[in-house]
Chains A and B, each alone.
Chain A
C-alpha cells in the first residue's frame, strides 16, 4: 500500500506541476499537429495509406521525445531528485510516478493527434488506437528511464535522442505493423511483449540511474 501511495503522491505532483506551468502538453500538441500538417503537404497524393501510417508513428515517437526532454527539468534545476532519493520511498516509485505523468501527457497529445490524422489522412480504427495505447506504455517506460539518465549528463539534449530513438525502433515496427498488416494481432502481441520486457528492465535499473 505504501508503494502505491508513494507512486500516487509522485504522479500527482507531476500532473500538478504541468497544470501550473503548462510547459509540456501544449508544446506536444502543437508539435504533433504541426508535424501532421507538414506531412499532409509533403506526402505525394498517390502515395497511399501505408506511407501515412508510417508518418503517424514518426510523429508519435518525436512527440514523446519532446515531452521526455522536459520530464526531469524541475528535478534537475533544483536538484530535487537528491531530496527524493533520500526519502525512504523505493526509488522505482520515482520512475513509475514520472512514467505515469509522461503517459498522461502523451495520451492528451494523441487525443488531438488521432482526429487530426483522420482528418488529413486515413480513418482511425480500434486496432490503431490499441496499437497507439500499447506503444505509449513502452515509450513512457523506456523514455522515462533514459530521460533520468540524460538529466544527470551535461550533454542531455544530445544524449536523450541518441539513446531513445534506437531503443524505440521495435515500437515503430510493431505500431506500423499493427496499423497496416492484415493480421495485426501478432504485432499487438509484440508491443505487449516489448512493454513487459522494457518496463521490468526500467523498473529494476532505475535505482542505479539515480544513485551513484
Chain B
C-alpha cells in the first residue's frame, strides 16, 4: 500500500527526516512513534499527498478519496455545526445515503445530541470525536491518524479503541502516537522516528 525509499523532507533549512525506507502492506497496522519534531505528522501528511517529498520516492497505492486523514486540527469549520460539517464532506465524497451514514457515526461517537451545535461551542474532546467521524465518513481504505487519542477522555479513548479494533485487519492504518502501548495489541509493525 505504501512504499518509501530514501525519503527526505525539509522545511527550509530544517530537515525533518532523511533516508527513510518504509513498506506498509495492505491491512497492516503501523504505529509511528518518536519525540516531538521527529516527523511523525510530516510522514502522515506526505502519505496523504498534502506535502511532497524533498527527495526520495514515495508511492501510496490509494487514491485521495480512499484516504482518511486525521490531523492535529479537526479540519472542520468552527461556525458550522457538527452535522453541517459532515454533510459538506459527505456531499464532496459523494457518499450514498449520506444522512444515514452521518447519523450513524454521530451516534456511535456520542455526538448525536450535539449535532446541531457549532463546532466552536464543542469541547476539545468532542471536536476530536468529530474529526474522527470526518476521517471515517467515507469508509477509507487507508487511515492516517495523527495522535488520534489527543483530547479524548477515557470514554472517548475506549470508544476509539473499539473502532480501531474493528478497523484493524480490514483497513491499512498508520497511527502516529506518543502512547504506543494503547495500540500495541493492534499493531502489525512499528516505526520509531528519531
Residues of the B chain whose Cβ atoms lie less than 8 Å from the Cβ of A74: 77-79
**Is the beta-carbon distance between A13 and B77 smaller than 8 angstroms?**
yes
Q: Which residues of B contact A88 (CB under 8 A)?
A: 63-65, 92-94
CA distance A8 to B136 in the complex (A): 24
Q: What total of chain A residues lie within 8 Å of the partner, measured CB to CB?
A: 25
| A85 and B50 in contact, given A5-B91, A6-B92, A9-B88 (Cβ under 8 angstroms) | yes
> Given contacts A16-B84, A212-B51, are A83 and B75 in contact (CB under 8 A)?
yes
CB of A80 within 8 Å of the partner chain: yes
Interface residues of B in 41-99 (CB under 8 A from A): 45, 48-52, 63-65, 67, 69, 71, 73-80, 84, 88-89, 91-94
Inter-chain contact A86/B91, CB cutoff 8 Å: no
Does B134 lie at the interface of the complex (its beta carbon under 8 Å from any beta carbon of A)? Answer: yes
Q: If A82-B71, A88-B92 touch, does A20 touch B79 (CB 8 Å cutoff)?
A: yes
Q: How far is the CA of A16 from the CA of B88 in the complex (A)?
A: 12
Q: How far is the CA of A84 from the CA of B134 in the complex (A)?
A: 11
The reply on A169 being an interface residue by CB < 8 A is no
The minimal Cβ–Cβ distance linking A5 to chain B, given in whole angstroms, is 7
Assembly CA distance A25 to B83 (angstroms): 25
Chain A residues lying within 8 Å of B64, measured Cβ to Cβ, are 85-88
Q: Are A82 and B75 in contact (CB under 8 A)?
A: yes
Contacts of B48 in A (CB 8 A): 82, 86
Given A82-B50, A82-B71, A88-B94, CB of A21 within 8 Å of CB of B89: no
Q: Are A78 and B79 in contact (CB under 8 A)?
A: no
Instruction: Contact check, B92 vs A87: say whether CB atoms are below 8 A apart.
Output: yes
Is B76's CB under 8 angstroms from A17's CB?
no
Nearest B residue (CB) for A17: B79
Count of CB-CB pairs between chains A and B under 8 Å: 76
Q: Is A77 an interface residue (CB 8 A)?
A: yes
- With both beta carbons as reference points, the residue of chain A lying nearest to B69 in the complex is identified as A86
The count of chain B contact residues (Cβ–Cβ below 8 Å) is 29
Main secondary structure of the interface of B (DSSP, over half): loop
Decide if the interface of chain A is mainly helix, strand, loop or mixed.
Answer: helix
A98 to B57, CA, bound (A): 34
* Residue from A6, A10, A77, A85 in contact with B78 in the complex, judged by beta carbons closer than 8 Å: A77
Q: Are A212 and B52 in contact, CB atoms less than 8 angstroms apart?
A: yes
Assuming the A-B contacts A82-B69, A87-B89, are A2 and B94 also in contact, with contact meaning beta carbons closer than 8 angstroms in the complex? yes
A89 at the interface (CB under 8 A from B): yes
| A79 on interface, CB distance cutoff 8 Å | yes
Interface-centre pick from A13, A20, A83 (highest chain B CB count, 10 A):
A83
- On chain B, the residues within 8 Å of A6 by CB distance are 91-92
Picked from A16, A83, A86, the residue with its CB within 8 Å of the CB of B49 is A86
- In the complex, are the beta carbons of B65 and A87 less than 8 A apart? yes
Per-position 1/0 for B6-19, Cβ under 8 A of A: 00000000000000
22 CB < 8 A contacts A-B: A6-B92, A9-B88, A9-B91, A10-B88, A13-B84, A17-B79, A79-B71, A80-B77, A82-B71, A82-B75, A83-B75, A83-B76, A84-B92, A85-B50, A86-B50, A86-B64, A86-B69, A87-B65, A87-B92, A88-B93, A89-B92, A212-B50
Given A77-B78, A79-B73, output 9 extra A-B contacts at Cβ < 8 Å.
A20-B80, A78-B73, A82-B71, A86-B67, A87-B89, A88-B63, A88-B64, A88-B92, A88-B93
